[in-house]
Structure 1
């Protein structure tokens, strides 16, 4: 049975071993590794021989991808504080000077950096480029779905607003409002998306100068199981095949993250940030925790859990998947609403853009000192995260290194 597979090829054979790092490449090559995403119908039995091709870096079945959907949190308690319905939160609830709580929590309001000179890419549902939050930003859009530019969902607009949005309704929503160029890849449309589109978009962002790539999306594993069931496989075999595909896609995204590190010697440094996922259900059972989902789980990608506010400090959101590298504000996050105005949403999808914004601030600081590399940027973002301010008796596996923090000097 033939199925569509992503074949990630290195078009420059002398740099095939880019996993060895930029140091090994510098002596052998004066140009960065050049990868290409191709999609072919492949028989499962042919994958092994294809893997022996020296130009092939990774092979993975095309898997369905979806947005990590915001979560409604009506009457859910976080450390004794009742969380309001997200839609009810407006800018009027913010204290003067008007800042979203997330901008304050990560220390962006007291940072001397704004993200100036840093290029950010958001791979999501697109963007409402006419929203006042993006006034003055050079927005480069590319549609990978075939539906055209724009944002019918609103998810991508909200995420972009948190990263680099300007003040709206006299409220600062953006962590890095000095970012003046954004690469917006529309990778999820009304019919969802697929892992080949995400991989293609990552390479596009690399090639167009992105320093930070933000992704609030994940693999639709149940949908892939049903794909095989629809082809006549029994549920046990369908699940096994889907697990093979899951593992191969994790390796695919790891290869792309490795490429980001390797490119540092030849092109702009890039880090990838991804939401951990919203499948946990701690409000139902405190032990009902789900691990970080792809692509965030792939090595080399910064995975982000979600924190909310409580009377005793920040606390893990009940939906937030566990095992992430670090955390960001992800409950009652106020940001740009497609069509105009502001809206508050909950999810690791809202936490990841806070981390992407902070990454832009650190990138500006490192760039000014001539020390900007992918490894250094990743180390600063994760290493400066802190458990300070998080309610006592937290589980370190839930929050990772803790709340992400912006540079303060």
Structure 2
């Protein structure tokens, strides 16, 4: 029999037998005729449904040690929707300045990113929208988060808080309040935030931590979910080699793990889409990655940004002829947003400027909160699909420098309502 393991740990458990299983807790209940949802879904009737009409998908993640026979049994289990090898994750590290001559951030007023997405001109502020951020945690005592209802849950084993600073910077861009007269937050009316610490203090973790964090955010009805992290394919291969695996086999196993985790994301996002009829669903935003090195090397968006249903985000910077794609920004994003010289909250207080698609994704998450509020206040049912459609349809090419490839900037610069 498989043994169930602690789902969050300090480091990646690298043997070949550790697998993540995705189940739908309501799968069996549907076949038994049970018709009462296991959780309240206050938005059901706004979609013309009765609460007892059906059961929403209830994702459940577990990390288990499986023998080859156990793995075959899991593949035949109708309640198991996905199986993936546990693999290391890491934050998408900020990069050195892409444009040394770029203008410095103003000491007061909105940051250039807030202005570029039009949040400073919007009549919406994200009020009433629940946002989840899965990252390195948050410095909840920073003035940028004063008065907010923040729920933290540590999946890394390193404890609440944010020693690293990456998560705090991302959170500040999404919903941070003004700091010393400077506006850093796109949706500074957001008052409820779910902060899942899925990366440890050194910026690393495991894919089971991320999937558990997503499950937690989904169960708590997050309407917007932001992630600025990636899967460490080279790290998994190196880990297996250190255990004595031949290099070729370790590389193949790492590739298999990467593929399995991508498929796991696809299945989990499909469950999210199905839940939209019950609670409106969740807009999922992810950084496309910083692995490209233009003009010599360009890489496509990495997992989780490459998963179906995820709004992947590329990074733009300011230039003399307009907004330009950052040299590090991976190709094939859905949207683009400010990702160079982005000023936001620093762990311990104050502000700091960072570069990366990690900084671009929170701009899109903040604008998603604005659109969620805008559609809701028009008196029509709002769901994740409607918000995603608005984000893509209203993205702008105005202000972009000439000859910015569509494969690099996606639909364009995200725009607030």
Same fold by TM-score greater than 0.5: yes
Structure-2 separation of matches of 1:196 and 1:296:
17
Residue among 303, 314, 325 paired with 2:312: 303
> 1:31 is matched with which residue?
55
Q: CA deviation at 1:359?
A: 0.3
Aligned residue for 1:200? 212
Instruction: Name the residue aligned to 2:9.
Output: none
- Cα distance in 2, alignment partners of residues 16 and 144 from structure 1: 30
Kept in 1: contact 2:228–2:287 (CA 8 A) = yes
1:210 aligns with 2:219: no
Corresponding residue for residue 241 of structure 2: 229
8 Å CA contact retained: 1:90, 1:343 = no
Change (3 A) 1:230 1:264: same
> 3-state DSSP class of the match of 2:413?
coil
Of the three residues 278, 289, 305, the one matched with 2:298 is 289
Alignment partners' CA distance in 2, 1:158 and 1:15:
42
Which residues in structure 2 correspond to 1:171-210 (within 5 Å)?
171-191=182-202, 192-210=204-222
User: 1:261: Cα distance to partner?
Assistant: 1.2
Gap runs ≥5 in structure 1:
none
Q: Report the equivalent of 2:3.
A: none
Q: For residue 384 of structure 2, what is the aligned residue in structure 1?
A: 374
Show the counterpart of 1:387: 397
Q: Is the 8 A contact 1:277 1:292 kept in 2?
A: yes
Task: Tell me by how many angstroms 1:364 deviates.
Answer: 0.5
Aligned residue for 1:109? 120
Superposed CA offset, 1:289-343 (max 9, x none): 0111111100111100000000100000000011111101000000001100100
Q: Does 1:145 align with 2:156?
A: yes
Q: 1:243 to 1:167 in 2, by over 3 A?
A: same
Partners of 2:332 and 2:390 lie apart in 1 by 19
Could you say which residue in structure 2 is the equivalent of 1:72?
96
Q: Given the alignment, which residue of 101, 105, 113 partners 1:82?
A: 101
Cα offset, 1:219, TM superposition: 0.4
Question: Is the contact between residue 6 and residue 61 of structure 1 (CA under 8 Å) also seen in structure 2?
Answer: yes
Whether the 8 Å contact between 2:105 and 2:112 is mirrored in structure 1 is no
Q: What corresponds to 1:398 in structure 2?
A: 408
Q: What is the DSSP-based 3-state SS (H/G/I as helix, E as strand, rest coil) of the residue aligned with 1:353?
A: helix
* SS of aligned partner of 1:153: coil
Quick check: 1:64–1:194 contact (8 Å CA) kept in 2? yes
Q: Is the 8 A contact 1:70 1:349 kept in 2?
A: yes
Q: Equivalent of 1:257, from 266, 269, 282?
A: 269
Query: Shift of residue 91 of structure 1?
Result: 4.5
Shift of 1:42: 1.9
Distance 1:3 1:275 in 2: 30
Q: Distance in 1 between matches of 2:209 and 2:65?
A: 16
**Matching residue of 1:50:** 74
The alpha-carbon distance between structure 1 residues 49 and 164, as it changes in their structure 2 partners (threshold 3 A), is same
Deviations 1:45-85 (A, max 9, x none): 65344212100110001110111110012xx54xxx7247x
Partner of 2:327, secondary structure, is coil
Q: Distance in 2 between matches of 1:236 and 1:261?
A: 38
Alpha-carbon distance between aligned partners in 2 of 1:359 and 1:155, rounded to the nearest angstrom: 21
* SS of equivalent residue, structure 1 residue 239: helix
1:12 to 10, 26, 38: 26
Match of 1:168 among 159, 179, 185: 179
Number of residue equivalences? 386
Please say if residues 140 and 184 of structure 1, whose CA atoms lie closer than 8 Å, have aligned partners that are also in contact.
yes
C-alpha contact 2:129 2:373 (8 A) present in aligned 1: yes
**Preserved contact between residue 3 and residue 43 of structure 1 (Cα < 8 Å):** yes
Distance 2:217 2:161 in 1: 18
Q: Provide the aligned C-alpha RMSD in A.
A: 2.1
The alignment partner of 2:279 has SS state of coil
Rounded Cα–Cα distance in structure 2 between residues aligned with 1:370 and 1:223? 47
Judging changes above 3 Å, is the alpha-carbon distance between structure 1 residues 99 and 15 closer, same or farther for their aligned structure 2 residues?
A: farther
The 1-side partners of 2:159 and 2:353 are apart by: 26
Using structure 1 for the length normalisation, give the TM-score: 0.90
Does the 8 Å CA contact 2:323/2:400 hold for their aligned counterparts? yes
Distance across 2 between alignment mates of 1:385 and 1:226: 40
Residues of 1 paired with 2:170 and 2:125: CA distance? 17
> Any conservation in 1 of the 2:135–2:167 contact (CA below 8 Å)?
yes
Aligned partners of 1:264, 1:42: CA distance in 2, in Å? 33
Deviation at 1:28, TM superposition (A): 9.3
Going from structure 1 to structure 2, the CA distance change for 1:29 and 1:242 (only over 3 Å counts) comes to farther
- Would the aligned equivalents of 2:28 and 2:79 in 1 still touch at CA under 8 Å? no
Q: What is the distance in 1 between the residues matched to 2:53 and 2:136?
A: 37
Contact 1:121 1:185 in 2 (8 A): yes
Q: Deviations over 1:228-247 (max 9, x none)?
A: 21222211111111111101
Inter-partner Cα distance in structure 2 for 1:203 and 1:46: 24
